[in-house]
A = this chain, B = another copy of it.
Amino acid sequence: MTRYYRLADIIGERIEQGLYQCGQRLPSVRSLSQEHEVSISTVQQAYRVLEQRQLVEPRPKSGYFVSQKHDLPALPAMCRHAQRPVEISQWDLVLNQLQGRAQGVTQHMGMGIPDVTVPSLKPLTKYLSRIALNTDLSSLNYDEISGSLSLREQISRLLVDSGSHISPDGIMVTTGCHEALSIAIHALCQPGDIIAVDSPSFHGVTQILKGFGMKALEIPTDPLTGISLDALSLALEQWPIKAIQLTPNCNNPLGYIMPDAHKQALLTLAQRYDTPIIEDDVYADLAYHYPRPRTIMSFDEDGRVLLCSSFSKTLAPGLRVGWIAPGRYMDQVIHMKYIGTGATATQPQLAVAEFIRRGDYHKHLRAVRTRYQLNRDIMTDWICAYFPKASRVSRPQGGFVLWIEMPERFDSLRLNRQLEGSGIKVAVGPVFSASGKYRNCIRISYARPLTAEVEAAIKHIGKLMQQQMDEFTA
């Protein structure tokens, strides 16, 4: 057992024993480090483990507190999949989820869209406007194929927070994280190839696999620690897996942050089988902790990790500014960029670069992190209050989506049909699986301000859920 797990157990025990009271401030990182003669970072990791166990909670600028929540709902179960590669289905469902607007949906509760109305985003609109009017018209021209140097420089700086030192030359800008993932997969794999993915996972990736005629091997995932390393190890042993694709930080849809020890173990596995890793980091800057979690890439020494991200969740998705740091695969990745879109729109890149350069980005992150963490607690409370008792709810460590698991017979597709006409819609579980699993699950976003209208919608959804539940017992 690692040092920080041991420390976590000691503190955890003290909490259980009532030594620290509910809501009470816990010893500072520094004092614990002295008391137990371990490094600061060991204590920090121990606190993260405890947070994942829902025993402690960080509060901005004041340290850790014993969790207030004693009535937290149960976590979703780790599902046990049949481990074999599947052809991907579910496109119709994904398309249906994307086309909410056309269906008269006014409250799409399941969309992965950040709150773009927060005041800290204002400078971005100013920069966008200013760049458009610039008399140097070069921003109207094709950008370099790898993206604006000014943006890549800023991304290079941001990457330090995730534990990596990558020069601007090691970064390529993309049309959203979506293109980054698509390029990574296309650069590494051929039609017919098998790719291991964490499950449940972002539907973009499974649909990309479908589009390229590849197969997904869905690896079971723990709602607190992420992809099962045992299952992954078995899968690597058994199948010729061409790449591992996963979202270890602030996972969509589960919200967990993989412990660093797991990240390292996963990397060791990938080394053993010489498999590249496609790491999706798109929500990671929205981790409620500061500093943000490390990437798997930050442990990588041989360039096997292709890190994919964007500013879609942290700033605004309509900009379509994403990027990839593809390690040793830059040549292939540049070619795939050229054959996909040629270049990325110039002006949004310049505006994002300016936003980061001037320090607005970190200010904005601080604002939204706090906001989303608060919203998580409110939304969790509402779900406890209005959803059937049997609901199991994720405990996100970052981002802004909740994953709710209902008993096996519950049908999320039926729920959406029942919601038709109300203007409300949820994201249904099967879009998060290559093979249509999770029909009994839904994803709910808590990014937007949690108004009375949202509460009413949650209440309404809960009522319809309860109706389904009642039918089972009737």
A95 touches B334 (CB 8 A): yes
Chain B nearest CB: distance from A297 CB in Å?
Answer: 23
User: How long is the Cα–Cα vector from A121 to B207 in the complex, in angstroms?
Assistant: 39
| A residues 57-114 touching B (CB-CB < 8 Å) | 91, 94-95, 98-99, 101-102, 113
Asked if A344 lies at the interface with its beta carbon under 8 angstroms from chain B, I say yes
Chain B residues within an 8 Å CB radius of A143: 318
User: How long is the Cα–Cα vector from A316 to B343 in the complex, in angstroms?
Assistant: 13
Instruction: Give the interface segment out of A37-45, A176-184, A381-389.
Output: A176-184
B141 touches A207 (CB 8 A): no
A317 touches B141 (CB 8 A): yes
Specify which of B98, B129, B346 is in contact with A318 (CB 8 Å cutoff). B346
The residue of chain B having its C-beta at the shortest distance from the C-beta of A209 within the complex is: B339
Asked if A335 lies at the interface with its beta carbon under 8 angstroms from chain B, I say yes
The residue of chain B having its C-beta at the shortest distance from the C-beta of A204 within the complex is: B342
Asked if A211 lies at the interface with its beta carbon under 8 angstroms from chain B, I say yes
Interface size class of A (residues with CB under 8 A): 35 or more
B347 touches A128 (CB 8 A): yes
B346 touches A98 (CB 8 A): no
Chain B residues within an 8 Å CB radius of A116: 137, 140-141
A127-158 interface bits toward B, Cβ cutoff 8 Å, 1 = contact, 0 = none: 01110110001111111110000000000000
Given A137-B117, A320-B345, check contact A91 B335 (CB 8 Å).
yes
Asked if A319 lies at the interface with its beta carbon under 8 angstroms from chain B, I say yes
A211 touches B344 (CB 8 A): no
Chain B residues within an 8 Å CB radius of A320: 175, 341-346
Chain B nearest CB: distance from A455 CB in Å?
Answer: 23
Chain B residues within an 8 Å CB radius of A117: 137
Chain B residues within an 8 Å CB radius of A312: 142
Chain B residues within an 8 Å CB radius of A211: 186, 335-336, 338-340
Asked if A168 lies at the interface with its beta carbon under 8 angstroms from chain B, I say no
A140 touches B319 (CB 8 A): yes
Q: Which of A102, A125, A141, A339 has the most CB of B within 10 A?
A: A339
Chain B nearest CB: distance from A325 CB in Å?
Answer: 19
B342 touches A176 (CB 8 A): yes
Asked if A457 lies at the interface with its beta carbon under 8 angstroms from chain B, I say no
Asked if A348 lies at the interface with its beta carbon under 8 angstroms from chain B, I say yes
The residue of chain B having its C-beta at the shortest distance from the C-beta of A124 within the complex is: B140
Asked if A191 lies at the interface with its beta carbon under 8 angstroms from chain B, I say yes
Asked if A263 lies at the interface with its beta carbon under 8 angstroms from chain B, I say no
B142 touches A132 (CB 8 A): no
Asked if A208 lies at the interface with its beta carbon under 8 angstroms from chain B, I say yes
Chain B residues within an 8 Å CB radius of A334: 95
User: How long is the Cα–Cα vector from A338 to B210 in the complex, in angstroms?
Assistant: 11
The residue of chain B having its C-beta at the shortest distance from the C-beta of A115 within the complex is: B137
Given A116-B141, A117-B137, A175-B175, check contact A94 B345 (CB 8 Å).
no
Chain B residues within an 8 Å CB radius of A207: 335, 338-339
Specify which of B128, B176, B342 is in contact with A132 (CB 8 Å cutoff). B128
Q: Which of A116, A186, A211, A336 has the most CB of B within 10 A?
A: A211
Given A129-B129, A319-B140, check contact A179 B338 (CB 8 Å).
no
Chain B residues within an 8 Å CB radius of A178: 340-343
Chain B residues within an 8 Å CB radius of A351: 132
- Told that A129-B132, A176-B341, A186-B211 touch, could you supply 5 new A-B pairs with CB distance under 8 A? A102-B144, A125-B137, A126-B132, A175-B320, A182-B339
> Could you write out 11 A-B pairs with CB less than 8 Å apart?
A95-B334, A125-B132, A126-B132, A128-B128, A140-B316, A142-B317, A175-B342, A182-B341, A191-B191, A204-B339, A211-B340
The 4 closest A-B pairs by CB, nearest first: A211-B339, A128-B132, A140-B316, A318-B346
